Amino acid sequence: MPILSATDCAIGRRVSAPRAPVEDLRDEETEFFVAGVKRVINKPMLWMLLGCLLLFGGVFAFKIFGKYMMNKAFDNMPLPPATVTAAPAEFQTWRQQLSAVGSLRAVNGVDVTTQAEGVVSAIHFESGDRVKKGVLLVELEAKPERAQLKVLQAELLLARRNNQRTKELHARGVTTDADLDATQSQLEQVLASLEVQRATIAKRNIVAPFSGRLGVRKVDLGENVSPGDPVVSLVQLNPIFADFAVPERHFARVKLELPVSIHTGAFPQQAFPGRITAIDPQVDPASRNFLVQATLQNPDQKLRPGMYADVTVDLAGERRVLVVPRTSIQFAPYGNAVFVLVKNKQGDGLVAQKRVVKLGEERGDLVEILRGVKEGEQVATSGLLKLRNDGAVIINNANEPPAEKNPQPENS
């Protein structure tokens, strides 16, 4: 019981009993909780909980161990050998050649145009006709000009008579030399006027300037044309030119009369022979190429101006080259490579080894190897996507890809 002082009693202050410390209360609660747990969890219950933990832990551990061993087995499992086709790297003798691209151009090719103004009165050709030089193609209306020609012809008769009469009188001494000269001059003026008029009429007749094949007609009957209007295109197809550009480093090797072979997209299986007939003496400073012109005979007129030309120039001399099929090359920006097939360590099979190679000239299905492969080594020619470095392979050449220097595809 707390003792109240006189002051506390005087002011009526209420004094409560002192509280227990907080730490003592917590200790009491903890003891009470532990006692409750001990009453709830007895020894059999504890052993059962431990058993469940061990059981489920063992199951999870077994699962993890099984997955680990499975992954390890897959990692160490050898891949089955890849089936590929193969071909040996071999030496061939190639004639030195130079490849270029160009286009075909007619020896003579123009748009036949009008030289006078007038109305088209007659058309004497069909589109695509073959014509000879001087053949009349189109006539323009020329009635006034022909009428004027008749007037001049009449003046010519009169001038000749006057000149002849003056000559006879001059011979008898009746007329002077001046009279004779005047009639002679008049005659010559009429003759000159006739030539001019005949030329004017001739301009109204449009003829073929050379022999060749006509194109599509560009005028119609009754059409009023002006000087310079195109009438029809005319090209000479035999012979025909092939113009192509060559890099300047080959300038010393390209000579006149060297044989060339032309291939076009229209006739891919046919080679058209020709010879170099002109070499441009200057090199283009922008492209560093120079222009070469070859002439080809074109009796069947299969080649037409404007066609794409794949040109091969046969240079003097031959060289030995190491070649492999084009299908064996893996082209990549960081370097081209091939898979060389060699014996495995046990000596009872083949494995693929990837090698970076340096390529040279290409001809048909073959590619020249400058570095990376030796003569006689087998290279994979198909199934390259299935190969990996040091992976096992099996060679099966039952369906070997083509490897020809001058292929002739059947579906071209």
* pLDDT band, residue 32 (cuts 50/70/90): low
pLDDT at residue 59, as a whole number: 83
CA distance 368 to 91: 9
Quick check: 15 pLDDT over 50?
Answer: no
- In sign, the C-alpha dihedral spanning 29, 30, 36, 37 is positive
Other beta carbons less than 10 A from residue 104's beta carbon: 23
Predicted confidence (pLDDT) at residue 216 exceeds the cutoff of 60: yes
Tell me the C-alpha distance between 204 and 122, whole Å: 11
pLDDT the model gives residue 16 = 46
Cα separation of 289 and 279, whole Å? Answer: 11
The pLDDT of residue 13 is 47
Mean pLDDT highest for which of 26-30, 59-63, 263-267, 408-412?
Answer: 263-267
Amino acid 5: pLDDT: 47
40 vs 140, residue with greater confidence: 140
- Summarize pLDDT for 358-402 with one digit per residue, the tens: 998 888 889 999 999 999 999 999 888 888 888 888 888 888 887
CATH topology classification for 82-93+320-399: 2.40.420
CATH class belonging to 111-225: mainly beta
Q: Read off the pLDDT of each residue in 208-224 and give the average, rounded to a whole number.
A: 90
276-327 tens-digit pLDDT:
999 999 999 999 999 999 999 999 889 999 999 999 998 877 888 999 999 9
What's the distance, CA 44 to chain centroid? 86
Looking at domain 98-104+234-318, its CATH class is mainly beta
* pLDDT given for residue 272 in this prediction: 93
Question: What is the share, in percent, of the chain residues with pLDDT greater than 90?
Answer: 30
Question: Residue 27 pLDDT more than 80?
Answer: no
Nearest to 97 by CA among 332, 312, 243, 392: 312
Distances (CA, A) of 285 to 127, 144, 248, 292, 303: 42, 57, 10, 16, 31
- The yes-or-no verdict on residue 44 having pLDDT over 90 is no
Residue 24 pLDDT: 53
Counting Cα atoms < 13 Å in the Cβ hemisphere of 405 gives 12
Please give the pLDDT value at position 76. 66
Residue 41 has pLDDT above 80, yes or no: no
State residue 36's pLDDT score: 56
Q: Is the pLDDT of residue 146 over 90?
A: no
Comparing 39 with 393, the larger pLDDT belongs to 393
User: By the 8 A CB rule, do 103 and 221 touch?
Assistant: no
pLDDT of residue 35: 59
